Structure 1
Amino acid sequence: MYFAALLARTEDGWEASDTELDDVETLSDLTDLAREASVDEDTVLVFIEQEGAWFGVVRVEGEEDPRIYVSDAAAAARSSYGEILTIELLGGDQDDDDADLDSLDLDGTEDGEPVAENEEETDADDEAVSAEFVPSGPAGDLEILADLGMSVKTLLTLGTDALPEIADALGAAEVLEAVR
């Protein structure tokens, strides 16, 4: 089960809202969702949590690139919303890379020539192996919350149910609890 919330910083403090991720398929979609919640292009934090497995924080400020942190990259990579974050952290979208390779005919076939069954199995094996190489443990911007009141050391010691602790450090525990 997933929980997702947006925390938007305003001059009066933090405003929280729960959010549906049903229409989010890419990091750009998630960033756009955060920017829509922004007040005067101030900081917006997107919290995503898969119960008992991992949590992630995406920080969006104005038009800057989003900053991302996930508590366990390997666990996140195995989930639909976590994969959006880990793809960005690990260097790009695998689907785009595969499309580029296919257009170059690197499989040794001519245009229109069918690929042999054993070659398809090899491609599937390669994808499975690459998923195994996602690092276990924290990944991303460790200082994502440092200027907001949560040290790197504290962030690294949080368990999988960390969002209330993060919100408490930011002074937003009550507003997050209201949407939880």
Structure 2
Amino acid sequence: MSETELDDVETLADLADLAREAAEDEETVLVFIEQEDSWFAVVRVDGEEDPRIFVSDAAAASRSAYGEIVLTDELTGRGSGDDLDDLVVELDEDDDTDSADPDEDDDADDEAAALDTDGLPNGPLGDAGLLIDFGVGAKELMDMSVEGSVPGDALTEIADALGCGDVLEAVR
């Protein structure tokens, strides 16, 4: 683990190439990105495979230049025909006309509130299972990403679980 300058990285492909350059013998490389204690991302690069990504708060990441790198169209569902805004609107319309249970209306409102104006979740997005084989389960990673947790603290917990907490602190 080392600190890498991301100034020349403009896309996820650039980031993956940089990670592969740092790898020895196509070993797995984990890239931690933390933005001013508002969000974090873990990008896992395994050899020539497509990177796997987990973002703690997609809405917060979308307001960052580094977030643009990790919030790919594939991850966010853009360009695939899956529009989260349309889905929420459909749920709201269905609930307003067909629902006999008022709790169902509240659930739809909660879903709408959980998305920002770009249709990105105000919370985690991506592959929560990308660290399972390193001993950090999907539920544990999701719990570290819940509202109210500090992204820097979550990355410290992750690094400690991976046995590289001292290295992370050295590059901060």
TM-score (norm 1): 0.67
Distance, in Å, in 1 between the alignment partners of 2:120 and 2:164 is: 32
8 A contact 2:12–2:72 mirrored in 1: no
Distance, in Å, in 1 between the alignment partners of 2:48 and 2:64 is: 27
1:146 and 1:75, CA in 2 relative to 1: closer, same or farther beyond 3 A?
A: same
The alignment's C-alpha RMSD in Å is 1.6
- 1:152 aligned onto 2:103: no
Distance, in Å, in 2 between the alignment partners of 1:175 and 1:40 is: 21
Question: Whose strand fraction is larger, Structure 1's or Structure 2's?
Answer: 1
Distance, in Å, in 1 between the alignment partners of 2:48 and 2:139 is: 28
Look up the match of 1:113.
none
- 1:178 aligned onto 2:164: no
Query: In the alignment, residue 179 of structure 1 is paired with which amino acid?
Result: V
Task: Tell me whether 29-38 or 154-163 shows the greater mean CA deviation.
Answer: 154-163
Distance, in Å, in 1 between the alignment partners of 2:56 and 2:137 is: 14
Mark the structure with the bigger radius of gyration.
1
Look up the match of 1:87.
72
Distance, in Å, in 1 between the alignment partners of 2:8 and 2:117 is: 24
- 1:17 aligned onto 2:2: yes
**What are the equivalent positions in structure 2 for 1:31-180 lying under 5 Å apart?**
31-88=16-73, 89-91=75-77, 132-158=118-144, 159=149, 160-161=151-152, 162-180=154-172
Aligned-residue offset at 1:132: 2.5
> Residue 59 of structure 1 aligns to a residue in which SS?
strand
Aligned-residue offset at 1:40: 0.6
Aligned-residue offset at 1:131: 5.1
% identical aligned pairs = 64
1:92 and 1:24, CA in 2 relative to 1: closer, same or farther beyond 3 A?
A: farther
Question: Whose helix fraction is larger, Structure 1's or Structure 2's?
Answer: 2
Distance, in Å, in 2 between the alignment partners of 1:74 and 1:61 is: 27
Aligned-residue offset at 1:20: 0.9
* Number of positions where the alignment pairs a residue of Structure 1 with one of Structure 2: 129
Gaps of 5+ in 1: 1-15, 94-129
The runs of at least 4 aligned residues of structure 1 exceeding 6 Å deviation read none
8 A contact 2:57–2:123 mirrored in 1: yes
Aligned-residue offset at 1:134: 1.4
Distance, in Å, in 2 between the alignment partners of 1:91 and 1:27 is: 16
> Residue 20 of structure 1 aligns to a residue in which SS?
coil
